[in-house]
């Protein structure tokens, strides 16, 4: 696995998923994350892609999960609810900071 700046590498989609997990705060699981992303990014989002990203994030220690909350629409099956970990929060804020710094270093700010 690639490492950047001393922490596990985070792909663009993974970053989006991680942010969404933070946004949904406690009610984040496959379907809600996919729906949120679909609505916000206007991209084609597949459940399998979201799940893989979630499992990878979990491997990297950015999210934690627990089972719970079965409903009738799920055929009585439990969902895996994800929450962001301290490491996840830290990585996000580090990435944000790097971006901010980069933005500020653009010579002509009126460009955007």
Cα torsion angle, 53, 57, 63, 64, sign: positive
Cα torsion angle, 53, 57, 62, 67, sign: positive
Phi, psi at 55, each rounded to 5°: -65, -35
Determine if 86 is a binding residue for another protein (CB under 8 A). Answer: yes
Kindly give the residue spans of alpha helices, DSSP state H, lying in 1-112: 12-24, 30-41, 47-60, 86-104
Q: Which is nearer to another protein, 10 or 62 (CB)?
A: 62
Determine if 59 is a binding residue for another protein (CB under 8 A). Answer: yes
Determine if 71 is a binding residue for another protein (CB under 8 A). Answer: yes
DSSP bridge partners of 65: 82
Positions 29 through 58 that interact with another protein (CB under 8 A): 29-31, 34-35, 46-49, 51-52, 55, 58
Determine if 73 is a binding residue for another protein (CB under 8 A). Answer: yes
Determine if 28 is a binding residue for another protein (CB under 8 A). Answer: no
Q: Which residues bind another protein (CB under 8 A)?
A: 1, 8, 29-31, 34-35, 46-49, 51-52, 55, 58-67, 70-71, 73-75, 77-80, 85-87
């Amino acid at each position: 696995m690639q490492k950047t700046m001393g922490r596990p590498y985070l792909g663009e989609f993974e970053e989006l998923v991680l942010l969404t997990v933070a946004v949904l705060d406690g009610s984040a699981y496959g379907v809600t994350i996919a729906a949120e992303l679909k609505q916000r990014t206007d991209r084609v989002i597949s459940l399998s892609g979201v799940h893989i990203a979630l499992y990878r994030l979990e491997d990297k220690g950015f999210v934690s999960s627990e089972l719970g909350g079965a409903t009738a629409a799920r055929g009585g099956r439990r969902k895996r609810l994800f929450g962001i970990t301290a490491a996840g929060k830290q990585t996000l804020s580090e990435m944000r900071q790097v971006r901010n710094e980069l933005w500020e270093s653009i010579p002509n700010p009126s460009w955007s």
